[in-house]
Structure formats: structure tokens, C-alpha cells
Amino acid sequence: MLPLCVKSCKMALFNRVNGKVLKEQLRNSSEPRTTISFYKYHQLADPASFRNELYKRFDQIGVCGRIYVAHEGINAQISVPTHQFEQFKTELYAIEFLNGVRLNLAVEDDGKSFFKLKILVRKKIVADGLNDATFDVTNSGKHVSAKEFNELAENPNTVIVDMRNHYESEVGHFEGALLPDADTFKEELPMVLDQLKGKEDKKVLLYCTGGVRCEKASAFLKHHGFQDVNQLHGGIIDYVRQIRTEQLPSRFIGKNFVFDERLGERITNDIIAKCHQCGSPCDDHTNCANDACHLLFIQCSECKAKFDGCCTPACRDILHLPENEQRRIRREIGKNDSLSVYKSRLRPNLSALIAEGKTSWKLHESKQ
């Protein structure tokens, strides 16, 4: 039997099966799978050729997930059939620059994280908007363990900075951390630099999900005069593994947002966020079920039932239109800037929008 995520396309270097079909197969599958993330900064002369070779290696053992390849290296979030985990490591470590690379295993894993294999060649493995030629990207901060992180966090001279997007930190973060209100990493870097002005003599402690964003951010801050820059080794994912292994207290509260079908891993029982529609305590993200929107927002189970998984009554109305009419609407929205990009700025105020009776079309028209 062919791997779930590449069924019927064994020889292709990309998936050809409808995504909805693959998602349904994944939901119904009982195959144990292990979710893994890893990254490595390394100069690749030919990212496209490397991408194709990687696809061949991973396709044959049923790997699913999302991998970015660039001249500067690789950034991967994947799911591997558990019985193929050792074979996966053999294939991965056979690549010289990836031999022994740290693998972050998911904190909570139901095997439903990814439904297909997608490997993309990008300009950067994380979109940062930086000109790497203007500073030494290899001059990154000091990596610290979970125990060291906890100790540094107790130092009043330490400034803890969350290098993730606001929708990630909204559901979970380290106590006392600076939480930039940014939608993207590119937007966050200058924002952090501005917020840390005058604190160049402080001990800076950065963290992110798996560590890749901190590699670039720490070098960026050191280039701008910060001398004592530290970063959490392995990010939040490895922090949790370490504290559980060493029986350390968790300074992280809430849920760790992840960029896959799960959308989050429970770290502590604290619910620090609210449903964006009714305001009740909730930290469950959802993507609006309207294919013309797909806004990422926080929605409780009651509101999910009330709005059929949509972010506004208008999107719910669109969801129940005939498919050909939905396609027409998607084409209309596609001619302009993404509706969800505009609405993402209003995400925390969805309840107010609903109360005002605003519709997707009104929101879209008001942007023009």
C-alpha cells in the first residue's frame, strides 16, 4: 500500500491527490505517526535539486508535512509513520550537513498533524525581511537549557522576549515575557528592536517554538549592540521535554501553538485566552470554514456550533451556498487583497463585528 499522503502518485515529486480526500483519510486512519520538527542553517548551492532529492527520500517512507528549503538551509515540520521512524533518521542523517541534527518531537501527538508532503523552495527558511549580507547571521546568541532558562528568568536584569506572532503568544507564553503584537516574524524584528531600546546592557532571553526564529533574531540583536543575548535551546518544544524529564517547574503557561492540523499542544491547564466571538475562556484556534476566508481565530465549542466553524454570520451564510456560488465569491475576493488578511487585524474584535451585523462583503468593501 502506498503511503497515506502520497497515495496514487508514487513517482511524482509533489502530491496530486485532493486535499479534502487526504484529510478525510487521515481522520479515518489508525496508523501511529510521530510529529517532528527540525531546522538547520547551511549554505545550499542548489536548493531545487536538494528539494527533489529530499522528496524522493521522504516520499518512499510515507513522510507528510511542510518543509521549506532555501540557499540558507532547511526548516521542517513533518509527520512520520512511527514504524518508519528509524528509517527516517537513516535517510535524514545520510545527508552530511543534517547528520545528527536535533529532532524536536511533538509534546502532544495524535498522529493527525499533517496529511500530505509539501516541500517548497523559498528565498528564506523563515521570512524575516532581513538583508543577511549586512550582518553576521552566524553570530547568534548563547543556547541555554530549560534549567538555565528558569534560572535566568528569575534574574531581575533579564528581559524575556517571545519571538513568535501574537496569535501564538495569545494562547500560551512564558511568565513575564515581552509579547510583541505582530502578525509576522518580519514585522516583529524591528518592533522588538524598538521595544528593547535603552536595554542594551540587559540580559536578553529569547524563545520561540522550536528555535529557528531565535537563531536569526539573536544575531540581529547582537548586530544592533546587544551584548548578552541568550536563546532557549530547542524552543518551547524541547523546553517541555526537558522539564518533564528533569521534573522542573514550568514557567510556560497555557498552550503551545503549532503550525499544523493540531493548531496547539497543551503544556499547562491554564486557559489564558478568550473566544473571539463570545469572550468566554478558550484557547482553541480554528480556521474559518468558509474557503473564501480561512481566518485563524479562537473559537469555543458553543460558537463553533452556532457559527458552523465560521468567524462571522456572513461567512456562515457563504458556507451554506451552492458550491458553484462559493467558487464565484472566492474568485471575486481573489481579484483583490485577501479578505482574511484584512480581517486578521480585527480578529480580537470579532464579537463586536458580529454584534454590529457586519458581513464579509461589507468588511471587504470597506477596505477598498
Alpha helices in 44-203 (DSSP H): 47-59, 85-93, 146-153, 166-169, 185-195
Buried/exposed code over 200-213 (b: 16+ C-beta within 10 A; e: otherwise): eebbbbbbbbbbbb
Residues 6+ apart with CB under 8 A from 71: 43, 44, 45, 47, 123
Of 216, 212, 259, the C-alpha closest to 238 is 212
Of 108, 106, 119, 144, the C-alpha closest to 57 is 119
Alpha helices in 200-254 (DSSP H): 212-223, 235-246
Lateral strand order in the sheet of 252-256? 172-174, 252-256, 265-266
Report the C-alpha gap between 133 and 106 in whole angstroms: 34
Report the C-alpha gap between 262 and 44 in whole angstroms: 31
DSSP 6-42: GTT-TT-SS--S-HHHHHHHHHH----EEEEEEEEE-
Report the C-alpha gap between 305 and 293 in whole angstroms: 18
Residues 6+ apart with CB under 8 A from 9: 15, 16, 17
Catalytic residue numbers, as ranges:
208
Structural contact between residues 175 and 152, judged by C-beta atoms closer than 8 angstroms: no
Report the C-alpha gap between 147 and 246 in whole angstroms: 9
**DSSP-assigned letter for residue 113:** S
